[in-house]
């Protein structure tokens, strides 16, 4: 690998890809952040060392998030607002990931062309776009993992292991990934890093030691992945293009010609895929080896001799066009994803009516972060289930609230959680909660004088509870 020559390729490539990655943000009407997790992490970053969150679940334990600390530090040191730092840091991390990915491939003696193509494919993959455009600590974990692998390639094993150990501070799921990676490495080199594995396991257990075993996530709101959520064409939020999958199969076929030479890679792919099935955010990790396979498949498609070169060119063109179209569709969907301007408008209307901050708003968990981060109010439940108080019970109570026609039950739930407002959006009315316009709570909202509509937009309604 010629460092100078590589830099001449890499730097312009990263600049161009970095610019493309910012598209969803700049296509948004109002330059707001994308996704509930972004707003949640930003809110944590306002007070990163706090171990209590007053708003989420009406008040709950808050585990210290290293990423929130980093955001806070970035804002503090630069003097810039947290929102701006929250926008810049994910992009910086994404660019660093791309750079490391390129260098790792070059260190494996792949050509500049292959490495560049792979880097472009990675940058243009939906999971990577999600990573670059939302505030999620998984981006930092992936960066640490790739940096560790790069250092390992340079025979600097101790710093590499150190970086892997650092990933354990981001959560138990991340520590499991770290243990898996070290185990695969041990399998390959026959040197099993027992001490680092134990250390990672202990670090991963620290929150459980400090705060106890958390209540399980509501079973009906599992983050398990279904096949349709993995496909962008079937509406998956963080998902893969079906054309990339086709190319990845070609890539896998190419690798399989050398059978068990790449055993550790197969194990890595299978393990990460299994992780993905249990947690949809595993897609972000699985994306890295997946893109490698995709690039390999594309290379094989172009370099193999076909019976008909015409068919070869048409097929390759369709695959590339399909990938480009998929990412364009994904960019479009990201750019119009929640929170929309109407969410801000709705909470502004609430603020004008009810300046009191110490109120509780009930809604579907998917809207929980808007209530806390944008509305600045308490919610009953949100999607940060880890170490939350009784999420299953809260979800079941909300189901009663949403679906019962027995007003005494409605009243009981409202009083139990001290609910003063109810936030309803169009997703809730279109199957997420209700299937008919007069189902359950919707009937009471229209018919009862105990509820008053204080905001009605195109897709959002806020109702005050006046028992």
Partner 1 sequence: MNKYIISLIIISVLAAGLQTYYTFSEPTFNQDSSYLHLRQAENIIQNHEALRYDSLSYGGRTFYGSAFYWYFIAGLLWIFGIYALKLIPSLIFLIFPILIYLITYHFLKEEKYAWLAAVSSAWIPIIWKELTNSLDLLLFFIPLAILFFYTYLEADNNQKHLLPLIIMTFLLGIITPYSLIIAVTLLIWHILMYIENFTPESIRGEATFLFVLFTFFFQFYLYRTLITSIGPEIIYQGAPQALLNDYLSNINLFILIGGIGILSIIFGAYGIYTTLKKPNEPFTLVTAFVFTIILLLFVKLIPFIPGMILLSIGMVIMASTGYEQFFRYISLTKFSRFTTPTFIVLIVLIGLTLTLPSVISGYGTRENTPTLSEIELFTFIKENTPKNSIVLTGLNEGNILTYYSERKNLMDSSYIGAPDSNRRYDALNELYTTESNIKAQELVEEYDIDYIYLSPRTQDEHNVDLLPYTQDNPCFTIIKETPEGGKLYEYTC
- Interface residues with partner 1 (CB under 8 A)? 228, 233-235, 242-243, 246, 306-308, 310-312, 314-315, 318-319, 321-322, 325, 329, 333
Q: Give the Cα separation of 453 and 206 in Å (integer).
A: 45
* First-residue to last-residue Cα distance in the chain: 72
**Smallest distance from partner 1 to CB 338, Å:** 15
- Are 427 and 366 in contact by the 8 Å Cβ rule? The answer is yes
**Smallest distance from partner 1 to CB 234, Å:** 5
Helix (H, G, I), strand (E, B) or coil at 1: coil
Which residue, 396 or 427, is less far from partner 1 as judged by CB? 427
**Smallest distance from partner 1 to CB 229, Å:** 9
**Smallest distance from partner 1 to CB 134, Å:** 19
Which residue, 16 or 447, is less far from partner 1 as judged by CB? 447
Which residue, 91 or 243, is less far from partner 1 as judged by CB? 243
Which residue, 307 or 356, is less far from partner 1 as judged by CB? 307
Q: Give the Cα separation of 159 and 196 in Å (integer).
A: 12
**Smallest distance from partner 1 to CB 366, Å:** 17
Which residue, 7 or 234, is less far from partner 1 as judged by CB? 234
Q: Taking the mean position of all CA atoms in its chain, how far away is CA 377?
A: 24
Burial of 260 (0-12, 13-18, 19+ CB in 10 A): exposed
Task: Find the radius of gyration of the CA atoms of the chain.
Answer: 24
Which residue, 131 or 246, is less far from partner 1 as judged by CB? 246
Max distance between CA atoms of the chain, in angstroms, equals 76
Which residue, 113 or 314, is less far from partner 1 as judged by CB? 314
Q: Give the Cα separation of 238 and 422 in Å (integer).
A: 29
Q: Give the Cα separation of 352 and 459 in Å (integer).
A: 20
Residue 437 per-residue DSSP state: T
Burial of 77 (0-12, 13-18, 19+ CB in 10 A): exposed
Q: Give the Cα separation of 4 and 171 in Å (integer).
A: 38
Q: Which two tokens stand for residue 130?
A: 């999600």
Identify which of 198, 131, 187, 193 has the alpha carbon closest to the alpha carbon of residue 160.
193
Containing 296, the helix (H) or strand (E) segment is helix 282-303
Helix (H, G, I), strand (E, B) or coil at 460: strand
**Smallest distance from partner 1 to CB 431, Å:** 10
- Are 204 and 183 in contact by the 8 Å Cβ rule? The answer is no
Residue 270 per-residue DSSP state: H
**Smallest distance from partner 1 to CB 223, Å:** 17
Q: Give the Cα separation of 259 and 243 in Å (integer).
A: 24
**Smallest distance from partner 1 to CB 329, Å:** 7
**Smallest distance from partner 1 to CB 246, Å:** 7
Which residue, 229 or 379, is less far from partner 1 as judged by CB? 229
């Amino acid at each position: 690998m010629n460092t100078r020559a590589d830099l001449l390729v890499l730097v312009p490539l990263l600049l161009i890809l970095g610019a493309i990655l910012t598209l969803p943000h700049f296509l948004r009407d109002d330059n707001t952040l994308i996704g509930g997790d972004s707003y949640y992490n930003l809110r944590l970053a306002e007070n990163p060392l706090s171990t209590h969150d007053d708003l989420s679940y009406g008040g709950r334990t808050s585990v210290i998030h290293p990423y929130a600390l980093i955001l806070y530090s970035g804002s503090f040191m630069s003097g810039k607002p947290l929102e701006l730092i929250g926008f810049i840091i994910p992009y910086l991390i994404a660019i660093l990931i791309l750079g490391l990915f390129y260098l790792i491939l070059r260190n494996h003696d792949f050509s500049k062309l292959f490495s560049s193509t792979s880097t472009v494919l990675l940058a243009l993959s939906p999971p990577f776009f999600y990573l670059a455009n939302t505030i999620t600590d998984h981006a930092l974990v992936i960066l640490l993992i790739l940096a560790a692998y790069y250092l390992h390639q340079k025979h600097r094993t101790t710093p590499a292991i150190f970086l892997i150990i650092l990933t354990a501070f981001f959560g138990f799921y991340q520590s499991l990934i770290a243990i898996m990676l070290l185990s695969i490495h041990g399998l390959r080199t026959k040197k099993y890093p027992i001490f680092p594995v134990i250390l990672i396991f202990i670090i991963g257990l620290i929150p459980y030691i400090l705060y106890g075993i958390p209540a399980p996530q509501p079973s009906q709101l599992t983050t398990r992945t279904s096949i349709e959520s993995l496909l962008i064409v079937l509406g998956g939020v963080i998902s893969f293009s079906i054309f990339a999958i086709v190319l990845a199969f070609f890539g896998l076929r190419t690798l399989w010609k050398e059978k068990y030479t790449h055993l550790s890679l197969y194990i890595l792919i299978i393990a990460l895929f299994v992780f993905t099935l249990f947690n949809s955010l595993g897609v972000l990790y699985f994306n890295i080896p997946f893109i490698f396979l995709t690039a390999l498949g594309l290379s094989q498609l172009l370099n193999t001799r076909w019976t008909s070169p015409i068919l070869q060119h048409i097929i390759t063109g369709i695959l590339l066009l399909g990938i480009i179209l998929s990412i364009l569709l994904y960019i479009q969907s990201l750019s119009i994803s929640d929170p929309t301007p109407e969410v801000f408008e709705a909470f502004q209307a609430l603020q004008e009516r009810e300046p009191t901050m110490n109120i509780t708003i009930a809604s579907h968990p998917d809207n929980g972060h808007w209530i806390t981060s944008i509305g600045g109010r308490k919610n009953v439940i949100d999607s940060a289930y880890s170490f939350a108080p009784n999420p299953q019970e809260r979800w079941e109570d909300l189901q009663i609230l949403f679906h019962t026609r027995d007003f005494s039950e409605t009243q009981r739930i409202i009083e139990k959680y001290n609910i003063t407002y109810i936030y309803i959006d169009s997703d809730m009315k279109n199957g997420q909660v209700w299937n008919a316009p007069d189902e359950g709570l919707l009937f009471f909202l229209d018919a009862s004088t105990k509820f008053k509509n204080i905001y009605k937009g195109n897709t959002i309604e806020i109702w005050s509870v006046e028992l």
